[in-house]
Amino acid sequence: MGPVTEHNDSHADAGAPAAPDSSYLCGAWGGSGPRLAVVNPADGSTAAEVATVTPTEVAETLDAAASALQSWRDTDPWARSRHLRDAAAYIRDHLVDIAASVTAEQGKPLAQAEGEVAGAADQFDWCADEARRIYGRVIPARGAGRRLLVQREPVGVVGAFAPSNFPALLPARKIAAATAAGCTIIVKPAEETPTAALWLAAAAEAAGIPAGVVNVLVGDPAMISEMILGDSRVRKVTLTGSVPLGSHIMEEASKQLKSVSLELGGHSPVIVLDDADPEWAGEAAARGKFRNAGQVCIAPSRFLVPAELHDRFVASFVAATEALAMGPGDDPSCDIGPLQNERRLQAMEQLVASAVSDGAVVESGGRRIERDAGWWFEPTVLTNVDLGTEIMVAEPFGPIAPIRAYDDLDDAVRIANDTDFGLAGFVLGGSLQRCLDVADRLEVGMVGINDFAIALAEAPFGGIKHSGFGREGGAEGVAEFTVVKYINVAPA
C-alpha cells in the first residue's frame, strides 16, 4: 500500500494520509515477504504492520540503484537541489502525521517526535543548498598553459543502516546528503521503527526524485545487510549503531574496500566548572539527560561536579528529574516515555544493580515500572559512583545519570577522557574562556558549552576513537558521499 491511501477512520476523513505500510523499492511501494508487526513500546500493542522484502526484491533494488546512478549523478545540481527542497516541504506538510508514527513505534513524547521530524526536514533543506556547493579547486600549475583541476564526484551506490532511537532524523541525514552528492541509496531502517523512514521515501517520491535513487527496505536485517554489503556495486556504507555492529560492518565492507562512515556509541562526560550556577546546571543537565528516555548517542551520561557544588547540583538535578511526567508519548502532558524494548529495560536494571553493589547511592528512581505491558524504567539519579563500575564504563543508553564529585579540574578532564568512546562532551560554566580551555582538552568529536542541543543540520556530527569516524551534517556530511578526482591538463 502506498502512502497516499486513506484509512477508514475519522482522522483519514479529515484528509490525513495513511502511514506507509510497504517497503519502497525501484520507485514503487511493495514487498512480498511476511508482514512485520511493529510494536508500540508504551503498551505492547501493534503500532503498524509493514510489508517486508524478499531476497529477490533486494537484488532488484540493488539493480535499480545501480541503474539509476549515472542519470542521477548527471542531473544538474540545481535540479537535485529543487528535489531535496520539495522533499523538505513534504516532510513539513506532513509533520504531525510523521511525528505520530515516530511516537507510536519509538515511544518518545510527541513534542520530541515533532522536533525530530522538523530536524529531518532541516537535513533536506540544508543539503538542498549543499548540492549546489560541492566545490572543487584549481591548483596553480608549474607551466604556462597548464591547469591542475580537483573536483568532487559521487562515490556511487550507498548502503545505509539506521537505528531505532531517532527513526526519522538519522535516515534523513543519510538520504539527504547522499542524494545531494549525486549518489543513489538503499536504506535499511531498524526493524523496530521502519515507518518513519518510509515517510522519507514518500517525501522523495512526492518530490519527484527518480525511481531507484532512494530505496527503503524493511525485512530480515541479516539477509538485507548481507546482500547490500556483498554487492560490489555498493561503494559506500554508512551506519549509525553500536560499536560491535560497526566493527562487523567495517569488517564486511573491507572485503571489497568499500568506503565506510560509522557513527557509533557514546558516553558523554559533563564537566561542571566551579563558577557554574549549580541550580541552573542541575536542571539543564537533567533535561538534557532524559530526552528520549536517555536513548540518545550524545546524551550526557557522566556528570563530574566540583565537590563544593556537588550537593546543590544534585538537589537541583533530582528536583528536575522528579518533576518529569512519565507516560505514553501521545499524552501531551508527558515528558518521558518508555524504553524501546525489553533488552534496554533489562540493561537498566543491571546497570543500577551493579552500581549499587559498588557503593553508589540511588538518589531518585532506580526501578522498572510495571505499566500497560510496556517497557518502563524510572529516570534514575546515582551519586557516590565508583569510577570502575559498569555505568561509568559502558554506554548506558537509557535514563540513568551517574554523578561524581571532583576536587581537581585536571582530574575531571582525565576521568572524562578515560574511555574508549569519543563522541561528545559538555562543559557548564560561567567563564567562556575557561569553558573553551576545557573543550580543547576533551577527546571527543563534538562539544557543547552550556548547551546540550548540539545536533544541527548545518554542523558536522560524529566522533573519534570507538565512537567511529566520518561526519553527518554540514558541508562535511555531503563530502562523505564524494570522491576526489584530480585532472592534469597540458596544452596540446
Q: What residue has cell string 522519507?
A: 200
Residue 6: the pLDDT is: 31
**Mean pLDDT on 167-186:** 98
**pLDDT tens for residues 105-141?**
999 999 999 999 999 999 999 999 999 999 999 999 9
pLDDT band at 19; cut points 50, 70, 90: confident
User: Which stretches within 25-76 are classed as H helix?
Assistant: 55-73
Q: What residue has cell string 557544588?
A: 309
Catalytic residue among 130, 192, 205, 263: 263
User: Taken in order 234, 238, 241, 243, is the CA torsion positive or negative?
Assistant: positive
pLDDT at 297 over 50: yes
**pLDDT tens for residues 231-266?**
999 999 999 999 999 999 999 999 999 999 999 999
Residue 7: the pLDDT is: 29
User: Taken in order 441, 443, 446, 448, is the CA torsion positive or negative?
Assistant: negative
Q: Which helix (H) or strand (E) holds 91?
A: helix 77-93
Q: Quick check: 161 and 225 in contact, CB under 8 A?
A: yes
**pLDDT tens for residues 194-221?**
999 999 999 999 999 999 999 999 999 9
pLDDT at 15 over 60: no
Residue 207: the pLDDT is: 98
Can 263 be counted among the known catalytic residues? Answer: yes
Q: What pairing do the DSSP bridges indicate for beta strands 368-369 and 361-364? A: unpaired
Q: Quick check: 306 and 406 in contact, CB under 8 A?
A: yes
Residue 300 cell numbers, joined: 550526557
Residue 245: the pLDDT is: 96
Least confident of 7-16, 34-43, 453-462: 7-16
Residue 346: φ, ψ to 5°: -65, -35
pLDDT at 290 over 70: yes
Can 205 be counted among the known catalytic residues? Answer: no
Residue 220 cell numbers, joined: 530480515
Nearest to 481 by CA among 159, 122, 77, 70: 159
Instruction: Please tell me the distance from the alpha carbon of residue 445 to that of residue 393, in angstroms, as a whole number.
Output: 18
Residue 128: the pLDDT is: 98
Instruction: Please tell me the distance from the alpha carbon of residue 244 to that of residue 163, in angstroms, as a whole number.
Output: 14
Percent of the chain surpassing pLDDT 90:
95
Residue 9: the pLDDT is: 34
Catalytic residue among 297, 378, 395, 472: 297
